[in-house]
C-alpha cells in the first residue's frame, strides 16, 4: 500500500510538473495580436451563440489599421460598422472607417479573444469559422 501511495504521488508530481510547459504553448494572454498571425476568419460569438464570421487581414488600410471584413450580421454584437482592426497592448480592437475604436478584445490565448461587456454577456472572438460559418 505504501509503495502504491508513493508511486501515485510521484506520477501526479510528474504530471503537474509537465502541465505549465504544455499550457504555455497556447498561452499568449495579454499580448498584442500581430498582423502576421491575424489573417483569416474569426468567429464572433456571445452567450454561447455564433453571431458572424469576421475576416482579418495583415494588409494595412491606413496609418494605424489593418483590413477587416465583417458582414452586416455582425451588427447584432458590435456597436458600429467594422472597417479594420488594430493591435493593442493586450490584444486587439475593431475600428470604424474613420479609425474610431469600436470594441476592444483582451487576448486569452492564440485563438481566443474576449471583450467584457457591462451587460455581463461577453463577446468572444475565436480563430476559425464556427459550425454554421
Q: Would residue 87 count as lying in a domain?
A: yes
Which cell numbers hold the place of 21? 510547459
Q: Would residue 51 count as lying in a domain?
A: yes
- Residue length of the chain: 133
Q: Would residue 27 count as lying in a domain?
A: no
Using CA atoms, how far apart are residues 76 and 111, in angstroms rounded to an integer? Answer: 22
Of 23-32, 37-46, 84-93, 94-103, which gets the smallest average pLDDT? 23-32
Q: Would residue 16 count as lying in a domain?
A: no
Q: Domain residues for 84?
A: 35-127
Q: Would residue 19 count as lying in a domain?
A: no
Using CA atoms, how far apart are residues 52 and 59, in angstroms rounded to an integer? Answer: 21
CATH at 41:
2.40.128.10
Using CA atoms, how far apart are residues 104 and 120, in angstroms rounded to an integer? Answer: 15
For residues 55 and 41, the answer to whether their CB atoms sit within 8 Å is yes
Average pLDDT over residues 4-8: 43
Q: Would residue 72 count as lying in a domain?
A: yes
Give the chain's domain count: 1
pLDDT of residue 21: 35
CA atoms within a 13 Å half-sphere pointing along the CA-CB vector of 15: 6
pLDDT of residue 15: 34
- For residue range 74-131, list pLDDT tens digits in order: 988 888 899 999 999 989 999 998 889 999 999 998 899 999 988 888 999 999 987 6
* Residue 5: pLDDT over 50: no
Q: Would residue 133 count as lying in a domain?
A: no
Given phi > 0 = left and psi -120 to 50 = alpha, else beta, which region is 45?
beta
Q: Would residue 104 count as lying in a domain?
A: yes
For residues 73 and 67, the answer to whether their CB atoms sit within 8 Å is no
- For residue range 58-69, list pLDDT tens digits in order: 999 876 799 999
Closest CA relative to residue 53, chosen from 71, 38, 77: 71
Amino acid at each position: 500500500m505504501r509503495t502504491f501511495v508513493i508511486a501515485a504521488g510521484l506520477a501526479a508530481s510528474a504530471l503537474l510538473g509537465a502541465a505549465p510547459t504544455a499550457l504555455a504553448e497556447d498561452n499568449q494572454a495579454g499580448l498584442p495580436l500581430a498582423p502576421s498571425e491575424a489573417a483569416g476568419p474569426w468567429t464572433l460569438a456571445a452567450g454561447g451563440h455564433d453571431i458572424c464570421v469576421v475576416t482579418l487581414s495583415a494588409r494595412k488600410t491606413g496609418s494605424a489599421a489593418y483590413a477587416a471584413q465583417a458582414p452586416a450580421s455582425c451588427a447584432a454584437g458590435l456597436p458600429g460598422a467594422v472597417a479594420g482592426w488594430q493591435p493593442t497592448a493586450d490584444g486587439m480592437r475593431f475600428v470604424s472607417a474613420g479609425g474610431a475604436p469600436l470594441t476592444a478584445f483582451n487576448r486569452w490565448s492564440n485563438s481566443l479573444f474576449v471583450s467584457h461587456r457591462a451587460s455581463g454577456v461577453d463577446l468572444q472572438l475565436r480563430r476559425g469559422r464556427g459550425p454554421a460559418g
